Amino acid sequence: MNVLFVSISSLPHLSKHSISLDLLHEFRRNGHNVFVVCALERKENKETELSEEAGCKVLRVKIGNNKKANIIEKGLTTVMLPKLYIKAIKQYYSDVKFDLVMYPTPPVTHVKTVKYIKKRDGAKSYLLLKDIFPQNAVDIGMMSKSGVKGLLYKHFRKQEKELYAMSDRIGCMSQANVDYLLAHNPEVNPAKVEICPNSVEVVDMRITDGARVEIREKYEIPLDKKVFVYGGNLGRPQGIPFLLECLKKQVDNSGAYFLIVGDGTEYGKLAAWFNETKPSNMKLMKRLPKEDYDKMVAACDVGMIFLDHRFTIPNFPSRLLSYMQAGLPVLACTDPNTDVGKVIVDGKFGWWCESNDAEAFSAKVSDALGADIGQMKENAFAYLGDHYTVEGAYRTICDK
């Protein structure tokens, strides 16, 4: 089977590991021919290129700048992207007949590209629904349903519905996502909607006690405290004002140490507070190379997830899996609409509270300080192997 994966991201070399790449590796292991179309932003100063990476054909298409670009440039890039992708597919993949095309959201702008492949080749289509846009943007005030911004919302909402309609099957992150999708899009046939969560090649990222000591000493992290780590994007979806509120209540907690590692649009707010307060039991660091970051996370005790409380859509953050790979229990602070907290609590590998109650966060920190962390680490790694493997995701996609 010839499989095409369409992404607007600038994917790393396919020999690397990520949620998307691990799934493609699984298709290769099962004997399929894997082809990729992904972005090559203008700032890279390279032209469109076709290469072979880890046994896959990878077409990197030159587009405008998308990440860390101003809103006008990002908008123009988004509008032009389908035209550029289709042109590149015609030029480089003209002799390939695709049987299956897979595409993750965000964004919802895959419609024209996927429609072209379906019409040209009669391919089946599989939507990996990782985020629900544009409602997520409305929830956190980046878009509106009325006024000038309302026009933008209506445009993307129309594309979202078209994306669902043309997809032969839709894989959702969790049951809450399935329920939300069907409740808000009653025209979608429930028979084509299923749970196909983020998944990884399960690699044991846990480390020895000796390595933990070495890493903590390297980054000047205390050896005698339980370390709570947050790693990843620091933007509006993460509800940084609430994270700051939680940290302020922990500055005198002598048993806990809080490590924040990442970057994003809201990083400056955290940096300003850290520079002013200089808390002795906390550290803020910029994003690290993946290998260094993975080792640092494994040297901690509890992973943290934060989501803005205004979300009405059920987000299911992918960083959960990186914590589980490292065998970390998880403290999740989210809106009440996502079921990630339920998964964590029911799986007996962490704690949950709503992300509008800093006192509840403090109570969960106290629970974690008194918990049997060793057993919860075992539970986290075991749950990963039972529920979030690429083998399972592959079977879900191919078994029908």
Structural domains of the chain, with CATH:
2-196 (3.40.50.2000), 209-386 (3.40.50.2000)
Residues 265 and 103: their CA atoms lie apart, in Å, by 26
- Are 199 and 390 within 8 A, CB to CB? yes
- Are 234 and 307 within 8 A, CB to CB? no
Name which of 298, 305, 299, 365 is nearest 326 in CA terms: 298
Bridge-based pairing state of the strands 193-195 and 226-233: unpaired
Name which of 289, 393, 316, 385 is nearest 24 in CA terms: 393
**Location of structure tokens 């709570």:** 228
- Are 362 and 67 within 8 A, CB to CB? no
Q: Where are the alpha helices (DSSP H) in 195-339?
A: 209-218, 240-248, 267-277, 290-298, 319-325
Distance of CA 188 to the CA centre of its chain: 24
- Are 221 and 259 within 8 A, CB to CB? yes
Residue 337: the pLDDT is: 94
Residues 46 and 64: their CA atoms lie apart, in Å, by 11
In one letter, which amino acid is 365?
A: V
Maximum distance among all alpha carbons in the chain?
Answer: 65
Question: Which residues in the chain come in under a pLDDT of 70?
Answer: 68-73, 75, 107, 400
Complete edge-to-edge strand list for the sheet that includes strand 226-233: 282-285, 256-263, 226-233, 302-306, 330-334, 350-354
Residue 71: the pLDDT is: 65
CA distances from 313 to 172, 245, 253, 339 (A): 12, 23, 33, 10
Taking the CA atoms of residue 204, residue 210, residue 216 and residue 222 in that order, the dihedral angle to the nearest 10 degrees is 120
In one letter, which amino acid is 201?
A: E
Residue 134: the pLDDT is: 85
- Are 174 and 196 within 8 A, CB to CB? no
Residues 56 and 116: their CA atoms lie apart, in Å, by 21
Residue 250: the pLDDT is: 93
Tokens, residue 400: 């029908």
